[in-house]
Amino acid sequence: MVESAVGSNVTEHKLRRAVGPWGSYTWGYADVGADIYVALGLVIATAEGASNVAFLFAGIIYATIGLAYTELSAMYPLAGGGQLWVMRGLGDIWGFTAGWSVLLAFTVDIALFAYISVSYINRLLPEQLNHAPWVIIEAAAIVVLLLVLNTIGVRESSKLNEIAGAIDIMAESSLIVIGFIFAFDPAFYWHQTTYFFLHLAPSHLLLGTSLAIISFVGLESISQAAQETERPTAVIPRTSVALILTILAYAIALSNLALGMLPWQSYDPNSTQPRFCPKGITASACSELHKQHESAPMIWLAQHLPTIGPLLIPVIAILGALLLLISSNSGVYGSSRIVYSMARNDLMPKFFTYIDPRFKTPLIALVVFCVIATGELIAAGLTPNALQSLAEMYAFSAAVNYLLVFVALLRLRFTDTETPRTFRVPWNVRVRRPSGVYEVPIVGVLGLVFLIAVLIMVLLTNEIGRVGGPLWVIAGLIFFCVYRRRRQLPILSSIQRDWTREQLEVYEESGETGLAEEYRAALRRKANRLRKDKDPRDGKPPDRNG
């Protein structure tokens, strides 16, 4: 029965699997690797001399998140990522909440990375283009361009990601090595880091840590490409762990290098101290100059490298703009994919599944969420610091989504013991229950605690995030309830779905026949165990008293 279903539906699910290990790694790197081009200046301007500590705290949290994503994406190598895992582990309403939070992250991703992409490329253009409102106008034009490209079916290819990722890794590594050898000043580094702790400002460290989280957002890209990845259950764990280590190393190295080369105040747009401003310019002009350093921190860092600095500036500007553009495009592509998946699972209206007959792309989903992203971009442009406003919303949406993923990870350890786990989050504790023995990951529990703390930090320290973020979630839940009620579907409970058939379809289509057999064997053992626990005469549990 199951096998016939698999055979009849395989063409519906089949996607071209052309992404290998390096392609999978660079697919994630093109998204996550771009984050440091955004976060470095923001975190240094906020956490000051403790920006390296903020990145370290965020990096530890990121490592736990990465391990959770690695286990779940290897278990369920399907497009959809965190939203699908939460729906499978916790139910429809929580799956919607996770997906709705991801949609906020993707729309902010579109706006934020388009904005920063413009900030980097404008360093090679006339000075007048580096000021508002031109940056907002240019970024909005990029969003429209990406909408058109995605409508006609053009998106970033794995090959482009591989080339851009390889060049950027070489450029960033060169910047770090040369910077530490020729430009790093240990005495100045010690002065900047100890100054913060002598003049402790806990709220700055908390805000900096919550913003540093955005430098690690993007693992979703690897899981979304799972259905295009060759042998995903084997490849994804390796590439995810490699990506975790790479991004963590770069974030820690660059933040420490920056503190040993330049005053942290030079990244702060609110700083008007004369010693950090060129002579003869006004305080407002000085603030604008610092805002440029905050929005293009890698160029500001490269600019102060001896000898090679001037040569690296155009490379960093072009690579940064390219990676950020790819990240913005992945937001356009990802938002349409997520909302299409949610609509197919009756979490969103069915009109989001509309496919343009000419270009075969989800036109309505693309238009709606690009319009939302443009609205967010314009609204951020009306605030004193557009970059800060977008980053705060990004931090909130990421924290909510990751928190729900951790809850789903822990619950699925109890409710889905049959699905093969080619990778497990390490350091597990065995828990005995009447239904069997289960393994609870200590890292998963710690990650859940960390994410609760991050969400609290975001709500306490991010003025935009604590208002706009909850309003987005509340509006979404109201929308969900109205939609399900009109469709006469359950609101608090879930629709019945054949997860077993879907899992087998993926295994068979991706060539993971060994895992398919392992999964079927686990299902048979479960069915036999359930039969033994019932009285064969009436289907009721046997009378233990005889």
Q: Which domains does the chain have, with CATH numbers?
A: 2-486 (1.20.1740.10)
Model's pTM, two decimal places? 0.82
Q: Across the strands, what pairs with 431?
A: 438
Q: Is 217 exposed, middle or buried (0-12, 13-18, 19+ CB in 10 A)?
A: buried
Parallel, antiparallel or unpaired: strands 436-441 and 428-433: antiparallel
User: Each residue of 159-203: pLDDT tens digit?
Assistant: 666 777 788 888 888 889 989 999 999 999 998 888 777 776 787
Q: Provide the strand spans (E) within 342-475.
A: 428-433, 436-441
Question: Is the CB of residue 243 less than 8 Å from the CB of residue 34?
Answer: no
Check whether 14 has a pLDDT greater than 70: no
Q: What contacts 220, CB < 8 A, 6 or more positions away?
A: 31, 69, 81, 82, 102, 334
| CA–CA gap between residue 479 and residue 197 (Å, rounded) | 46
The DSSP secondary structure of 302-321, one letter per residue, reads HHTSTTTHHHHHHHHHHHHH
Radius of gyration of the chain from Cα atoms? 24
User: Each residue of 441-478: pLDDT tens digit?
Assistant: 999 999 999 999 888 988 888 888 889 999 999 999 99
Q: Is 486 exposed, middle or buried (0-12, 13-18, 19+ CB in 10 A)?
A: exposed
Predicted local confidence at residue 368, as pLDDT: 93
Q: What contacts 473, CB < 8 A, 6 or more positions away?
A: 97, 100, 101, 400
Predicted local confidence at residue 66, as pLDDT: 87
Residues 305-325 as b/e (b if ≥16 CB within 10 A, e otherwise) read beeebeebbebbbbbbbbbbb
Question: Is the CB of residue 462 less than 8 Å from the CB of residue 454?
Answer: no
3-state secondary structure of 415: helix
Average pLDDT, the chain: 81
Q: What contacts 160, CB < 8 A, 6 or more positions away?
A: 326
